[in-house]
Chains A and B, each alone.
Chain A
C-alpha cells in the first residue's frame, strides 16, 4: 500500500487550504474543545437530527457523531472535481435513457447485454419511457475517495435517492454558529443554496400535462424511516408538502393529495421510497407505502417521479466498471475522475485473481449498500476471510473486488487530541433542465483509529466540508 495522504500536512508544512486551521487548533485548549463538542451535540439534539440504524435496535434518536475539524478543498481542487462529477452525472443519465430505449451502447458492444438486461435492477416496466428533459436521476450522489494531492477515485454512484444532504447543510449551520471567526477569516463558499436549487431542478422536470406552476411534493415512507428527518428538513426548506403514500391517490389521469380543502393535484413527486414500493399495482403488491395506479399516470405523462423508476441499473456495482466507457460513448470525452480498479468476480480470470489475493482486497456485494455485506481483507481475521471466500465461490457474479485504497486522512478531534482519520466525500449533483453542484458535500469520517469504513451505520461520523473561494 502507498503511504496515506494527509490532506492537511505535506512533509513538515501545512497545505495551503488548511493554513488558517493550524492556528485555530493551537488556540483551542482542551476544555474549550470539550465545551464546543458538547454544544454541538446539544444543538444537533435540539434540532432533532438523529439517525436510526436499521437492525441495530437501541436508541432511535441516536446522533451521527459530528467532528468539528473541517475538511477543506481549494477552489482549484474543487473546480476539477466539479467538472468530473457533472460529466459523470450526464453520462449516467444518458446511459439510462439509452438502455430503456434503443440500447445503442449494448449494440455497440461497449457493455455486455447480460449485465444490463439481466440485471435485477433493470426495470422492464419502464422500458420505452423517456422522462421529462431526458433525466432519470435528478440527484446523483457520487462517492469519492482520495489517495493523493491529485488522485481522486469514484467509489460508487448513487442514482436513486442518495441521502445525507441534510448533514451537509446542518454541519455548516452548526459550524457557523459555533465558530463565526473561522468563517470571517476563510472565504468559504456557501452551501445553503442547495434546497432552492433542488426545488428548481424538480420543478424543471414537470410532466407534459402540467400547466402553470408545478406542485412538487416529497414522498416519504414515514416518520419511522431512518432518514425521515432529512425528508422533513428538505420539504421545509423547499416550501413543499411532505407526503406519505396514504396522502396521495390516483383519480383518472392525475395524482392528487388529500387536503383539508379536498383533493389537490400533484405534478412532481420527489420520492424517498424504493421503486419496489411506489405502486403496488405495478411492483410489490403488498406494499402499504405506495400509491396504486401511480405508474399508469407516470407513463401517460400526468406526473413526474424523481428519481425516475428504473435508475438502479446505472448505480449497480458491476455496471460501475463501465461508467468510464459511458463517458467516452455518450459524451466523447475522457473521464476526469477515475474509477477504482475493479475485478468482477463473475469473470473467471478476475475470480481467480480475487480468490488468490483475498486478504488484500475489499469485496462488495453488487447490490449492497451502507457498508453491509462487505469484506475489508486487511482488516479481517483469517476466519472472516475464509467465510467470505465461501460466499464468493457460491455466487461469484454477486461480488466485485477492489484493492484496499489508502484513503486520505484529515485531522479529527479524538479523545487524546487531534489525530488523522480516514475520510470520503459525497457531493450531490442536481440534474434537471440544468446541471448544478453546490460547492461542498458530505464528508464522512471513520472515527475508529485505522478504520476505513466511513458509513454512519458502522460508526462513522461527519465533518463540515469547505470549498475556498478563489
Chain B
C-alpha cells in the first residue's frame, strides 16, 4: 500500500510531510501514555506524607512535566480534581490525553494511505471512545480506570503498528517518534522524583525515599520488571541503573537512544546517505555507553537528566531538518 507500490521497485522514498505525520502519531500516542502515567504517579504519591505535606506534590509533578505554567494560568492552586482535568481532558493543555489522542488521530487521518486498516482502526477507536468518555459525567470516571484506558489504547496502536505495518521507512519514522518521545518522557518522569525530594536531603535513602521510587517504577509499569532484574532493596542507584543504563528495560534511556540510532541507521541505508541526525544519535549513544551510575550521581541526577533532555531536543531538530521538512536536497 501507500507510496507508489509498483513492482520492481525496492527503494521507496516517501513524502516528507507523510514522514512528519507518522513521526507525530507516535510522539502523541507516547505522550498520551505519559500524561496518564503522570496522573498515576501523582495520585499515588499524594496518598503518602511527604516533605511538603500532602498537597504540593501535584505541583512538583506539573513542574517536572513542564505543564505548571499553563495549569496555574487556568486553574490557580493545584487541586487534584483540576489536575486530573488538566492532564486528561483539557484541550487547552496540548499534552493532555485528550489533546494527544485527538492530534494522533488527526495525523493518522492525514496519512491514511501510509497506515494499515488495523493501525487506523486502533487510532480511530481510541478517538471515538475518548469522545464517548467526554460525554460522561466526571463523577462516573475513576482515575485508575482512565489511566488504564489510555495505556490499553496506546498499547493497541503500538501493537497494530508492530503486527501489521510494512518494515519500510514509514515504520522507521514511527519508531523514531516513539523512542524519541519515550526517552524524553522517562527522563521527565524520573525528574519528578527530583522535584519531590529536593527540599530535604536527609530523606535520601530513607524508607519514604524508597517508597517514592517504588511508586515511580509502578507508574512506568516497570515495578515487577525491576524486581526480576535486580531483586532485594530498592535503592536510588539500582533505579537509576535500571531506568537510564539497563538495555533490558523497555523504557530506559539506553534502550530509547539505541532504538533511535537503529532506525536512523536503517534510513541511512535505505536512502544511501548519512545526515546530521545519524551523527547526533551516535554521539548521544556513545555518551550513554560511557556513563556509570556513580558518574550520574556525581553530576547530580537532575543535572544529568536536564542535559539528556537538551541533547534529545537537538537530535529532534536534526531529524526534522534531514527528513521531515523536505528542505534537504
Residues of chain A whose beta carbon lies under 8 Å from any beta carbon of chain B: 45-46, 48, 213, 215, 223, 228-229, 232-233, 235-236, 239-244, 246-247, 257-264
Contact = CB atoms under 8 A, between A and B. Distances in A.
Contacts of A244: 17
B113 A232 contact: yes
B28 interface: no
A233 B112 contact: yes
Interface of B: 1-6, 11, 13-19, 106, 109-110, 112-113, 120-121, 124-125, 128, 169, 173, 267, 271, 323-324, 326, 328-329
Given A241-B3, A262-B328, A263-B329, A235 B113 contact: yes
Given A46-B125, A213-B6, A241-B18, 5 more contacts: A45-B124, A232-B112, A244-B17, A259-B16, A261-B271
Nearest to B272: A261
A117 B125 CA distance: 52
Contacts of B15: 241, 243, 247, 257-260
A223 B111 CA distance: 9
A223 B112 CA distance: 11
A46 B18 CA distance: 22
A233 B128 CA distance: 20
**Closest CB pairs A-B (n = 10):** A258-B326, A261-B13, A259-B13, A239-B5, A232-B112, A236-B113, A223-B110, A235-B113, A260-B323, A258-B16
Contacts of B19: 260
A206 B3 CA distance: 19
A246 B18 CA distance: 12
B271 A260 contact: yes
A46 B1 contact: no
Nearest to A244: B17
A259 B112 contact: no
B13 A260 contact: yes
8 contacts: A46-B121, A48-B109, A48-B124, A244-B17, A246-B17, A257-B15, A258-B15, A260-B323
A268 to B, nearest CB: 12
Contact of B16 (A46, A48, A232, A247): A247
A45 B16 contact: no
A396 to B, nearest CB: 45
- Identify which of B17, B125, B128, B271 gathers the most chain A CB atoms within 10 Å of its CB: B17
Nearest to B107: A223
A463 B97 CA distance: 38
Given A46-B121, A223-B106, A247 B17 contact: yes
Contact of A48 (B112, B173, B267, B329): B112
A23 to B, nearest CB: 33
A259 B14 contact: yes
Secondary structure type dominating chain A contacts:
mixed
A463 B120 CA distance: 25
Nearest to B6: A213
Contacts of A247: 15-17, 326
B112 A260 contact: no
A259 to B, nearest CB: 4
A246 B326 CA distance: 10
A102 to B, nearest CB: 39
Given A48-B112, A236-B112, A262 B4 contact: no
B124 A46 contact: yes
A260 B120 CA distance: 22
A263 B329 CA distance: 7
Nearest to B328: A262
- Identify which of B5, B113, B324, B329 gathers the most chain A CB atoms within 10 Å of its CB: B113
A34 to B, nearest CB: 20
A242 B113 contact: yes
B266 to A, nearest CB: 12
- Identify which of A236, A259, A260 gathers the most chain B CB atoms within 10 Å of its CB: A260
B120 A48 contact: yes
A257 B3 CA distance: 12
B6 A239 contact: yes
A223 B109 contact: yes
A260 B4 contact: no
Nearest to B110: A223
Contact of B326 (A48, A239, A242, A259): A259
Contact of A240 (B4, B128, B267, B271): B4
- Identify which of B4, B106, B323, B329 gathers the most chain A CB atoms within 10 Å of its CB: B4
Given A223-B106, A241-B3, A258 B17 contact: yes
A264 B14 CA distance: 10
B108 to A, nearest CB: 9
A80 B204 CA distance: 87
A45 B121 CA distance: 10
Contact of B14 (A48, A240, A246, A260): A260
Nearest to B124: A48
Given A258-B15, A260-B19, A236 B328 contact: no
A283 B15 CA distance: 26
Nearest to B112: A232
Contacts of A263: 329
A380 B211 CA distance: 74
Contacts of A260: 13-16, 19, 169, 173, 267, 271, 323-324
A236 B1 contact: yes
A223 B21 CA distance: 12
Contacts of A229: 112
Contacts of A228: 109
Contacts of B121: 46
A263 B173 CA distance: 19
A228 B112 CA distance: 10
- Identify which of B1, B109, B125, B324 gathers the most chain A CB atoms within 10 Å of its CB: B109
A258 B124 CA distance: 28
A409 B139 CA distance: 50
A262 B13 contact: yes
Contacts of B112: 48, 229, 232-233, 236
A236 B2 contact: yes
A242 B271 CA distance: 21
A341 B329 CA distance: 58
A223 B169 CA distance: 23
B1 A239 contact: yes
Nearest to B17: A247
Given A232-B112, A258-B17, A260-B13, A215 B120 contact: no
A184 B16 CA distance: 45
Contact of A241 (B4, B169, B271): B4
Given A247-B326, A260-B14, A239 B106 contact: no
Contacts of A264: 13
Nearest to A257: B15
Nearest to A243: B15
Contacts of B1: 236, 239
B273 to A, nearest CB: 9
A261 B17 CA distance: 12
Contacts of A215: 4
Nearest to A45: B128
Nearest to B1: A236
A214 to B, nearest CB: 10
